[in-house]
Chains A and B, each alone.
Chain A
Amino acid sequence: MPSLPDVMTPEIEKLAAAQAGQGASAPQDQTRDALFEWLLRTGDNALILGHRVSEWCGHAPALEEDIALANQALDLIGQCQLWLGLAGEVEGRGRSADNLAYLRDAGAFRNLLLVERPNGDFGHTLMRQFLFDAFHIELLDAAAASPDARIAEIAAKAKKEVAYHLERSADLVIRLGDGTAESHDRMQKALDALWSYTGEMFHDDAHDRALAEAGVIALPSSLRAAWDRTVGQVMAEATLRLPGDVWQHGLTGAGGGKRGVHSEHLGYILAEMQFLQRAYPGATW
C-alpha cells in the first residue's frame, strides 16, 4: 500500500476556517466574525447545558427538583433561541436559531467542554450547574453593559433567570456539602472531577481579544476574580476542598470546546437532538 500523501490538509483548514466564519476577512469584518463566534459560544453553552439538564426530566430525586430542572432547561433553551437568533443575524447568511442548533455538526459547536460533561449522579449535575452559573452570571453581567443594545438586552433578560439558577445551585451545593458524610463525599468527588473543565471559561483567544478591543464584550479572564470569590465562599460554607492547581482541559494545542474541538460526548448529544431534522430534511414541525 502506498503511503498516503497529505493533500487533504490545506483543504480541511480552508473548510474549518469557512465554518468558523473567519475566511480571509477585511479588518472591519473581524469584529463581526468575533461577535458571531461569541454569540455561538454563549448560545451553544445554553443549548447544550439545557439539553443535559432536560435529560433529568421525570428522573430527579424529588418532585420539586423535577420542576426546578425543567424550569432551568426552559430558561436555557429560551436564552439559546435569543443568542443563536442574533448569531444568525450577525452572520447575515440567513441562518435561523433552529438552523444553527439542528444543522451544524459537532466541530461547528462552540460550547465549553464543561457543559457537555455527562450528568453523572445528581450531585455531579448540581456541581456542574453551580460552577457554570457562577461564571454565567458574571458573563451576563458584563454583557448587559455592552454598548451593543441587542446584546445588552438579551443579557439583561437572561441575567434575571441565571441569578435564580445560581441562588439555587449554590444553596444546594452548600446543603449537600454540609449534609451527610455520603452527600459530602459525592459533592467533593463531583468538584474534583469537574474542576479541570473550569479553566476554559476564562481563557482568552483572538476572538475574545478582538471584541474586548472593540469594547463590545469584556475579556473572559476579567471574570475570573468574581468567580473565584463566589466559588471560594460557597465551597467554604459547603465544607468542600478546592482542588487547587490541576490540569485544565481545552487550553493547549487544537483543543477546547470554544474552538470546536469537543469531547466524544457532544456527538451523541447532537445525534439525539438533531435526529428528526436530519432524518426528514426540510420538513416543518
Chain B
Amino acid sequence: MYAQLVKSEGVKSRDEMSPEEIAFQERIDRGEKIEPKEWMPEGYRKTLIRQIGQHAHSEIVGQLPEGNWITRAPTLERKAILLAKVQDEAGHGLYLYSAAETLGVSRDELLERLHSGKMKYSSIFNYPTLTWADIGAVGWLVDGAAIMNQVPLQRTSYGPYSRAMIRICKEESFHQRQGYDIMMKMCAGTPEQKAMAQDALNRFWYPALMMFGPSDKDSVHSAQSMAWKIKMNTNDELRQKFVDQTVPQAEYLGLTIPDENLKWNEEKGGYDFSEPDWSEFFAVIAGNGPCNAERLGARVKAWEDGAWFREGLMAHAEKARSRRIAAE
C-alpha cells in the first residue's frame, strides 16, 4: 500500500513481554486507542513512524504524477477537479506528518530521510502518467487501492493515525469516484479515447496490485504489526478484495483486465488472478522504476530551491520577535 514494506520486529510471545508490554497489548486487544503521551513499546513507536512517514511521503510524491496533467486538463471543470484533488493529497501529507510528529519525529527529519533515500514512498508513483486516461486510471485504481487499505486503518490502535485516516478516507472516496467518472467519459467517447482508457488500465493494473505489498508468505514483518493493530489485514486479503471489487467495474466500462488467468472461482467466492511481477516491484522499490529519478529529484529540488524561502520566513519571525521584546 502507501506503506508497502514497513520493517518491524518479529512478534513477541507473552513470555517474552515485560509487565508494561503485557498491559499495553491488553489495551490494544480491548480496542482502546493509544494516545501520544502514553507509554508505548519502542518497537511500536518506530514501526508507526516508518509506516505513517511512508504514507505521508506517498501523499506528497503522489502530487507529481497527477500534477503532471493539471496544465493540460481537457476542460476547465476537469482542471478544477484535478487541482482540488492534488490539493487534497498535499493536505493528507500534512495530517500524516502531524500524526508522525506526535511520535517524536519532526516533519523536517522525515523529509530529510525521504530525500536521502532512507525512507520510501509507494512504488505506484514511480510510474508515468502518459495520457489523460491515466488520470482517470490513477483515481479509479490507485485511490481505490488506497481506500481498500485505509478504511480498516480507521480502526488502527494509534489515536492520531486513526483520526487522520478517518479524515483522509472521505476525500479518497471522492477521488476514486472522480477517476471512475473520467474513465466512463473516455469509454463512452471516441474510439481513440476508449483505446486510451484500455491502454491506461493495461499499464496501471499490475502496479496497482503491487500497492498492497508482497505476498504474505514473503512478508515476515506482518505478525507484530497485526498484533499491535497497526496493520489490520494481510496484503493478500486486501489484494483479493481489490480485484473482486475492480473486475465488475472494468466490465461496466467495457474494458479488459490484462490478465488471461483472471476467472471467477466459485469455491473461494473470489477471482483467481495472476500475481504481478515481483522482480519489477523490488526493482522499483530499489530506485529503478521508470520515474524514480524524476519523482525524488523533483522533491529534492523543491526542497533545496525553497531553502532561501524558509530561511527568510524564519529570519523575519526572529526579527519580529526581537522587535516585540524591544518594544516591551
Interface positions of A (Cβ within 8 A of B): 47, 51, 54-55, 57-67, 70-71, 73-74, 77-78, 80-81, 84, 97-98, 101-102, 121-123, 174-176, 178-180, 182-184, 186, 269, 272-273, 275-277, 280, 282-285
Given A67-B91, A123-B309, A186-B308, 10 further pairs, Cβ under 8 A: A61-B302, A61-B310, A67-B90, A74-B83, A74-B87, A77-B80, A179-B312, A183-B315, A276-B73, A283-B74
* CB within 8 Å for A180 and B75 given contacts A63-B94, A70-B87, A74-B84: no
A58 nearest CB neighbor, chain B only = B63
Residues of B within 8 A of A84 (CB): 76
Report how many residues on chain B are interfacial, defined by Cβ distance under 8 Å.
Answer: 51
* CB within 8 Å for A180 and B311 given contacts A70-B90, A81-B76: yes
Whole-angstrom CA separation of A186 from B312 in the bound complex: 10
Check B193 against A283 for contact (C-beta < 8 Å).
yes
Check B83 against A62 for contact (C-beta < 8 Å).
no
* CB within 8 Å for A98 and B76 given contacts A122-B305, A183-B308: yes
The interface residues of chain A, by DSSP majority, are classed as helix
Check B70 against A54 for contact (C-beta < 8 Å).
yes
Whole-angstrom CA separation of A65 from B71 in the bound complex: 18
The contact of A61 among B75, B303, B317, by CB within 8 Å, is: B303
Residues of A within 8 A of B270 (CB): none
Interface positions of B (Cβ within 8 A of A): 60, 63-64, 67, 70-80, 83-84, 86-87, 90-91, 93-94, 97, 107, 132, 182, 185-186, 189-190, 192-193, 298, 301-303, 305-317, 319
B314 nearest CB neighbor, chain A only = A179
Residues of A within 8 A of B315 (CB): 179-180, 183
* CB within 8 Å for A284 and B189 given contacts A61-B303, A276-B72: yes
Whole-angstrom CA separation of A284 from B193 in the bound complex: 9
Residues of A within 8 A of B182 (CB): 285
Whole-angstrom CA separation of A172 from B86 in the bound complex: 23
Check B80 against A64 for contact (C-beta < 8 Å).
no
Whole-angstrom CA separation of A269 from B310 in the bound complex: 29
Whole-angstrom CA separation of A174 from B77 in the bound complex: 34
Residues of A within 8 A of B93 (CB): 63
B185 nearest CB neighbor, chain A only = A285
The 7 A-B residue pairs with the shortest CB-CB distance in the complex, in nearest-first order:
A61-B306, A183-B312, A179-B312, A58-B63, A70-B87, A285-B74, A57-B67
* CB within 8 Å for A62 and B309 given contacts A77-B83, A81-B77, A102-B75: yes
Measured CB to CB, the closest approach of chain B to A172, in angstroms, equals 8
* CB within 8 Å for A175 and B87 given contacts A60-B302, A273-B72: no
Measured CB to CB, the closest approach of chain A to B62, in angstroms, equals 9
Whole-angstrom CA separation of A111 from B158 in the bound complex: 51
* CB within 8 Å for A57 and B72 given contacts A74-B80, A122-B305: no
Check B302 against A59 for contact (C-beta < 8 Å).
yes
Measured CB to CB, the closest approach of chain B to A237, in angstroms, equals 11
Residues of B within 8 A of A74 (CB): 80, 83-84, 87
Residues of B within 8 A of A65 (CB): 306, 309
Measured CB to CB, the closest approach of chain B to A82, in angstroms, equals 10
Check A70 against B94 for contact (C-beta < 8 Å).
no
Check B87 against A71 for contact (C-beta < 8 Å).
yes
Residues of A within 8 A of B80 (CB): 74, 77-78, 81
Check A57 against B310 for contact (C-beta < 8 Å).
no
Measured CB to CB, the closest approach of chain A to B323, in angstroms, equals 10
Check A175 against B192 for contact (C-beta < 8 Å).
no
Check B312 against A176 for contact (C-beta < 8 Å).
yes
Whole-angstrom CA separation of A66 from B91 in the bound complex: 9
Whole-angstrom CA separation of A62 from B303 in the bound complex: 7
The contact of A178 among B132, B185, B316, by CB within 8 Å, is: B316
Whole-angstrom CA separation of A73 from B72 in the bound complex: 14
B304 nearest CB neighbor, chain A only = A61
Whole-angstrom CA separation of A186 from B70 in the bound complex: 28
Measured CB to CB, the closest approach of chain B to A138, in angstroms, equals 25
**13 CB < 8 A contacts A-B:** A57-B67, A57-B83, A59-B301, A63-B93, A63-B94, A64-B94, A65-B309, A67-B91, A175-B316, A175-B317, A179-B315, A276-B72, A285-B189
Q: Which one of B71, B107, B303, B311 has the highest number of Cβ atoms from chain A below 10 Å of its Cβ?
A: B71
Check B75 against A285 for contact (C-beta < 8 Å).
yes
Residues of B within 8 A of A77 (CB): 76, 79-80, 83
Check A67 against B312 for contact (C-beta < 8 Å).
no
A59 nearest CB neighbor, chain B only = B302
Check B71 against A179 for contact (C-beta < 8 Å).
no
Check A58 against B308 for contact (C-beta < 8 Å).
no
Check B311 against A58 for contact (C-beta < 8 Å).
no
Whole-angstrom CA separation of A55 from B79 in the bound complex: 12
Check A285 against B67 for contact (C-beta < 8 Å).
no
